[in-house]
Structure 1
Amino acid sequence: MNHKVQSGPKSAEYTSDYKAGQDNVQVLGMDIHNPVFTTSALAIIVFIVLTLAFPADAKVMLEGARSWSTETFDWLFMIGGNVFVLFCLLMIILPVGRIRLGGDDAKPEFSRMSWFSMLFAAGMGIGLMFWSVAEPVAYYTDWWGTPLNVAPSTPEAAAAAMGATLFHWGLHPWAIYGVVALALAFFTYNKGLPLTIRSAFYPILGERVWGPIGHVIDIVAVLATIFGLATSLGLGASQAAAGLHFLFGIDNDITTQIIVIAAVSAIAILSVIRGLEGGVKVLSNINMGIAGILLLFVIIAGSVTGFFSNFVLTVTNYASDIIPLSNWVGREDEKFYNGWTVFYWAWWVSWSPFVGMFIARVSRGRTVREFMTAVLLIPTIVSAIWMAAFGALALDQVQSGTGALANGLTDVSLAMFQMLENLPFTAITSALAIILVLVFFITSSDSGSLVIDSITAGGKVDAPVPQRIFWAVLQGLIAAVLLYGGGAEALKALQAGAVTTGLPFTVILLLMCFSIYKGLKTEL
C-alpha cells in the first residue's frame, strides 16, 4: 500500500511551486532525483572500493577524523544536545503544541500502539538489546572510564552506572530525533513541501533550497544513513553470530555472519515491497510483543520488588546526575566523557536524518504536543523500565559474583546472553533474544530503505518498488562486502565515517530549531 503525503493549506510565507520529484528522471524502472541519487551512489561505490583497497589506512584516517570532530567540538555536541532537549520540552508546553501535523482535519494513519512501536523500533530498539546489560557493567567495573569519576566497584558506582546509562538512552537522543522529525513532518504535511531533509530549511534559504545547497544537505543525509545502517547491520551480524555460537555452538565465522546479513536483507526486501502497512508496521508490532514477553520474564525471574526499587534508583540517579553529565566545562572524567557521551551524541546526530524522517513519515495527524510526548517522554520511560530490569539485574550478578559477568565485560555481544544464562529457561529466553535482535535489524533496514528511497526520489513517498529494493540490497552488500574484505576493521572505519557526519549535522539541527519556530509561528 502506498501512502501519499497529504498536506494542509500553505500559508502565505510558503508559496513554493516546487513539487516532490519534479526534477526526477526515469532510469531502469526507478524514479530518481538525479543529483542526489547519482552523487550518493557514486560516493558509496568509491568509499567501498577505497576502504577495501586500503582498510588499515581508511580506518586510521576516518577514526582520526572522528576523534578530531568529537574532541575538538565536544562543546558543540553537548550544547546542541542540551538545546534540543529544552526545545522539545518547550514544544510540549507552549501554545504551538496544539497545532496538528497535516492541518486541523488530519487523521492519524496508525493506531497509537503501532505508531509507537514503529518509531521505537527504528530509533534504538536494537541498541538496548546489548547496551542495557553491557553499559552498566562497563561503567561499574571501569571498563572504559566511570561517570563523574565515581570509584568503580562500589555501591555509588552501581547507582551512577544506572543513571549514566539512561542518560545516554533517554531525553537527549530522542530530542535529537524529535527535532528532525518535527521539522520534516511540519513542513511536509502543513506546508506542502517534499518529504526530504532540505525542506526543513525553506524558511531560511527560500527557493535556493531546491538548488545545489539542498542537494548537498540531502546527499550528506543519504551517506550518513546508508553508512550508519550498513555499520549496524555488519556489527549486528557479528553479535547475532556470537549469540548463535553461545546458544547452539554454531561457528562464529565470516560465513555465519554473511548468512545472517543475507537473511536479514532478504526479509527487509520483502518488507519494503509490502510498504509501511504490510511490512514495517507488522514487524514493529511483532518486535514490541516479543520485547514485552522477554521484559516481563526478566522482571519475574529476577525479583519483582527488586525491579521496582531498581526503577526508582535508575530514575532518581538520572534526575540527580543529568546536569553534571550534561556539562562540558572542566570535566574530570575525560575518558568517560569523550569515549562514551560525546561519541553517543555524535552517533545519535548521524542517525537523526534516517530516524527523524521515518518518524515524520508515520506521524501525520498527531498534534505537536502528542508527537513530542510520544517521541521524547514515553521512550525515556520505556528505556528506564528496560534498564531497571536488564541492567540492574546484570549489576546484581556482578556484585554477587554470579555467572560470567562477575569476571568483567569481555564481549559486548555476549553480555545479554551471559545475564540470561543465570535465569530459568535459558535456551528459550536466549532464543527469544536472538529473534528480537534479528527482527530489530530488519525493521531498521527496511525503514532506512524507505527513508533513503524518499530522499533520492526528490521527496516522493511512492517511488517504484525496484528503487526500494535497490537501497535495501545495497545496505546488505555494503555490510557483507566490507565484512568479508576488511573484517571488523573496515566496519569500524565505516562507523567512524558515519559518526564524523554528526558534526555538520549538529549545526544543521540547530538551524532546524530556528526554522521550526519560524514555521510554527505562521500557524498560530
Structure 2
Amino acid sequence: MPATPHWLHNKNKETPVSVRPNSPLERWFAGVSPTMAIASIAMVFAFVLFTVTNADLANGLYSGAKAWIERSLGWYYVAVVSGVLFFTCWVGLSRFGNLRLGKDDERPEFSNYSWFAMLFSAAVGTGLLFWSIAEPLMHMQGNPFMEMAGVEAGGVEAAQVALRITMFHWGLHGWAIYIIVGLILAYFTYRRGLPLTVRSALYPILGERIHGPIGHAVDLLAIFSTLFGTATTLGLGVSQMNAGLSYMFGWEVSVGTQLLLIAVTSIVATLSAVSGVGRGILWLSHWNIRLSSVLFLFLLLAGPTVFLLGLYATSIGDYLAHFVPMGLWTDPQPERQWQGWWTIFYWGWWLSWGPFVGMFIARISRGRTVRQVVVGGMLSATLGAFLWIVIMGGTGVHLQLSGVDLASVANNDLTMVLYKTIEGLSVEWATMAMAALATLMIASWFVTSADSATLVICTILSMGNPNPPRSYRVIWGIGLGALAAVLLLAGGLQGLQAATIVAALPFSLVLLLICYCLVKAVHEEERAASMNSLEVLAAPGSR
C-alpha cells in the first residue's frame, strides 16, 4: 500500500447540519456548526454588551493593552512580520513552488485579472483611500528616519522619506501575511481535502483534535479578527464618505448621517455576499479597478504628470534599497511612541486581518500553483499599492511642496485630505465630479471588503463550505453593519480599533504554527511521493 500521510484521509468529526431539518432548532442551524454558531454569537454579544455598557472602562482596557503591546512587544511584531516575509519568499521560490493547490491537473477557477481584482479589493478596502495621501503628509512633518538622516521637515528630501515609509507600511511585509495565510489554507483545503477553515492548517500537529475546543478557539479568533477589523474599517469609511457628502452637498457631518451610510453600505454588501464570489463580489471587484483607474488618470493628467511618472520608478528603487533594514529596525527611544503609532499599528492591523483576507485568497486560488500565488500575488498587489500611493500620495506631496497647505488639513481632519487634494489641482469643471467619484470609490471598496468578510465568517461557521447558507450571509452581513452602528453610537470605535490590534497577538502565534505545519506537510507529501515512485519501480513488470 502506498505510503501516505496519516492525515490525508481525515474525516471531519463535526459536520454542519445538512439533513432536512424537522424542528425549528434544526432549521436554524441547517448547514452550519451549531457549536461555532452559538459561540460566535455569544462572543459578539458579550463584547458589544461590555463595550456599550462600560464604554470608558472598555476603551481604557483596550487602549491600555494596545499601549502595553506597543511598548513591550514591538520587537516581537517586527520579528514576526519580517520572518513571515522571508518565509513566504522561500516557499514561493523553493522546489515546493510547483505544487498545485488542488489536483495536479486542475487549472485556476478565475482569470489572472479577476483573481487580482478580488484579492486587491478584499485586502485593501478603504485603507489606501484614507491613508495614501494623509500618511506621507504627516510623515513629512517629522519621523525618526528623517532624524537619523539629518533631513529637515517639510522639504523635498522629507517628502522622499515620507513616501518611502508609506510604501514600507503598504508593501511586501504586509502582503506577505495575507499571501502566506491564503496559501497555507488553500494547500490544506484543495490539496489535502480538509475544510476551508483556519483550524485545518494545524492538522499536522493536532490531528483530530482540531475538531475540539482548540480548533473552535482558533476559528473563533479568526471570526473575531474578521468581524471587528471590518467593523472598524466601516467606521473609518463612513466618516470619509460623510466628509465627501458634506464637501459636495453640505450634508451635516454627524453620527446620524454616518448611521444612514452604514445601513446603506451594509445592505449592498449583504446582497453582494448572498450572490456569491462568482457574481456580486467579482463584479464589484472589476468595477473597483475601473473606477480607480479613472481617478488615477485624472490625477496623473491634471496633476504633475512628469513628476509622478519619474516618482514611481524612483520610489520603488528607494523602497528596495531600504525595506530590509526598515523592516528590522526597532526604535531605541520607545518613549517617543512613533513606531507604536505607525509601524506596530500597521503590523498589528495586517495580522488581525490575516485570517479574513487569507481565507478569501484561499477561496479564489484553487488550481493555482504555490509560486503563482506567492510571486504573482505579492508582486502584483505590492506594485498596485505602490502605484496608488505614488499617484495619490505623490500628488498631495507635490501640492504641499508647491504651497498648498495640505499638511494642516491632515492635522485637523484626515477625512478631508482626499477632497482638498482634488480641489488643489484647480480643475474647476472636474472637481465635483472627481469628488463624487472618490466618494463612490470609498463605498465600493468597502463593500467588497465587507461582502468578502461576511462570506469568510459564514464559511467558517459552515465548517469550510465555500457556499454557506444564504440565511447566515444575510444575518452576518446585516450584523456587521449593526455592530459598527452600535459601537459608533457608544463611542467605541477607537477602543474597538485597539481591541483589533490586541487580537493580532494571539493570531501571530497561530501564524507561526501554521507556517511550521506547512513545512511539515510538504515534506511528508514529498516523502510519500518518493515512496510511491519506489513501489512502482519495484512492482513486477515495471522494467
TM-score class, shorter: over 0.9
How far 1:167 sits from its partner (Å)?
0.3
Q: Following the alignment from structure 1 to structure 2, what is the Cα–Cα distance between the partners of residues 247 and 286?
A: 23
Q: Following the alignment from structure 1 to structure 2, what is the Cα–Cα distance between the partners of residues 380 and 197?
A: 25
Matching residue of 1:367: 369
Is the Cα contact below 8 Å between 1:349 and 1:506 reproduced in 2?
Answer: yes
How far 1:413 sits from its partner (Å)?
1.2
DSSP 3-state at the match of 2:100: coil
Query: Aligned runs of 1:161-180 on 2, under 5 Å?
Result: 161-180=162-181
**Cα deviations by residue, 1:396-418 (Å, 9 ceiling, x for unpaired):** 11112125446653211111111
DSSP 3-state at the match of 2:121: helix
How far 1:267 sits from its partner (Å)?
0.7
**Structure 1 pair 284–408 and aligned structure 2 pair: CA distance change class (3 A):** closer
**Cα deviations by residue, 1:210-244 (Å, 9 ceiling, x for unpaired):** 11111110111111111111111122111211111
Query: Aligned runs of 1:25-174 on 2, under 5 Å?
Result: 26-28=26-28, 30-142=30-142, 145-147=143-145, 149=147, 150-174=151-175
Matching residue of 2:293: 292
**Structure 1 pair 408–174 and aligned structure 2 pair: CA distance change class (3 A):** closer
**Structure 1 pair 177–245 and aligned structure 2 pair: CA distance change class (3 A):** same
Matching residue of 2:337: 335
Query: Aligned runs of 1:95-494 on 2, under 5 Å?
Result: 95-142=95-142, 145-147=143-145, 149=147, 150-329=151-330, 331-332=332-333, 334-402=336-404, 404-405=406-407, 409-423=411-425, 424=427, 425-484=430-489, 486-487=490-491, 490-494=492-496
How far 1:463 sits from its partner (Å)?
2.1
**Cα deviations by residue, 1:3-57 (Å, 9 ceiling, x for unpaired):** xxxxxx9943423432386154834264221222211211111111111111111
Which range moved further: 182-191 or 120-129?
A: 120-129
Q: Following the alignment from structure 1 to structure 2, what is the Cα–Cα distance between the partners of residues 407 and 474?
A: 34
Amino acid in the other structure paired with 1:187:
F
Is the Cα contact below 8 Å between 1:126 and 1:441 reproduced in 2?
Answer: yes
Matching residue of 2:521: 519
Amino acid in the other structure paired with 2:435:
S
Is the Cα contact below 8 Å between 1:147 and 1:161 reproduced in 2?
Answer: no
Is the Cα contact below 8 Å between 2:126 and 2:233 reproduced in 1?
Answer: no
DSSP 3-state at the match of 1:14: helix
Is the Cα contact below 8 Å between 2:308 and 2:391 reproduced in 1?
Answer: yes
How far 1:262 sits from its partner (Å)?
0.7
Amino acid in the other structure paired with 1:264:
T
Is the Cα contact below 8 Å between 1:74 and 1:328 reproduced in 2?
Answer: no
Q: Following the alignment from structure 1 to structure 2, what is the Cα–Cα distance between the partners of residues 477 and 329?
A: 39
**Structure 1 pair 442–74 and aligned structure 2 pair: CA distance change class (3 A):** same
Q: Following the alignment from structure 1 to structure 2, what is the Cα–Cα distance between the partners of residues 235 and 158?
A: 25
Which range moved further: 70-79 or 145-154?
A: 145-154
**Cα deviations by residue, 1:166-195 (Å, 9 ceiling, x for unpaired):** 000010110011121011000000000000
DSSP 3-state at the match of 1:31: coil
Q: Following the alignment from structure 1 to structure 2, what is the Cα–Cα distance between the partners of residues 184 and 213?
A: 17
Q: Following the alignment from structure 1 to structure 2, what is the Cα–Cα distance between the partners of residues 240 and 153?
A: 29
Q: Which runs of 5+ in 1 are unaligned?
A: 1-8
Amino acid in the other structure paired with 2:62:
L
Matching residue of 1:6: none
Q: Following the alignment from structure 2 to structure 1, what is the Cα–Cα distance between the partners of residues 517 and 51?
A: 37
**Cα deviations by residue, 1:114-168 (Å, 9 ceiling, x for unpaired):** 11000100111421111110000010023xx454535421322111101110000
Q: Following the alignment from structure 1 to structure 2, what is the Cα–Cα distance between the partners of residues 205 and 148?
A: 47
Amino acid in the other structure paired with 1:259:
L
**Structure 1 pair 324–335 and aligned structure 2 pair: CA distance change class (3 A):** farther
Q: Following the alignment from structure 1 to structure 2, what is the Cα–Cα distance between the partners of residues 357 and 158?
A: 36
**Structure 1 pair 250–176 and aligned structure 2 pair: CA distance change class (3 A):** same
Is the Cα contact below 8 Å between 2:197 and 2:460 reproduced in 1?
Answer: yes
Q: Following the alignment from structure 1 to structure 2, what is the Cα–Cα distance between the partners of residues 16 and 328?
A: 45
Amino acid in the other structure paired with 1:508:
V
Larger radius of gyration, structure 1 or 2? Answer: 2
> How many matched pairs?
511
DSSP 3-state at the match of 2:133: helix
Q: Following the alignment from structure 1 to structure 2, what is the Cα–Cα distance between the partners of residues 430 and 178?
A: 33
Amino acid in the other structure paired with 2:87:
F
Is the Cα contact below 8 Å between 1:331 and 1:337 reproduced in 2?
Answer: no
Q: After TM superposition, which residue ranges in structure 1, 4 or more long, deviate above 4 angstroms?
A: 403-408
Which range moved further: 469-478 or 315-324?
A: 315-324
TM-score, normalising length: structure 2: 0.90
How far 1:73 sits from its partner (Å)?
1.2
**Structure 1 pair 64–401 and aligned structure 2 pair: CA distance change class (3 A):** same
How far 1:330 sits from its partner (Å)?
5.1
Is the Cα contact below 8 Å between 1:70 and 1:338 reproduced in 2?
Answer: yes
> Matched residues, percent identical?
37
Amino acid in the other structure paired with 1:252:
V
How far 1:332 sits from its partner (Å)?
4.4
**Cα deviations by residue, 1:245-282 (Å, 9 ceiling, x for unpaired):** 11221111112101111111111111111111111001
**Structure 1 pair 64–163 and aligned structure 2 pair: CA distance change class (3 A):** same
Is the Cα contact below 8 Å between 1:70 and 1:346 reproduced in 2?
Answer: no
Which range moved further: 23-32 or 63-72?
A: 23-32
**Cα deviations by residue, 1:43-72 (Å, 9 ceiling, x for unpaired):** 111111111111111111111111112321
Which range moved further: 346-355 or 305-314?
A: 305-314
**Structure 1 pair 10–210 and aligned structure 2 pair: CA distance change class (3 A):** farther
DSSP 3-state at the match of 1:179: helix
TM-score, normalising length: structure 1: 0.94
Matching residue of 1:5: none
How far 1:331 sits from its partner (Å)?
3.3
Q: Following the alignment from structure 2 to structure 1, what is the Cα–Cα distance between the partners of residues 13 and 209?
A: 15
Q: 1:502 aligns with which of 492, 501, 504?
A: 504
Q: Following the alignment from structure 1 to structure 2, what is the Cα–Cα distance between the partners of residues 241 and 408?
A: 16
How far 1:96 sits from its partner (Å)?
0.8
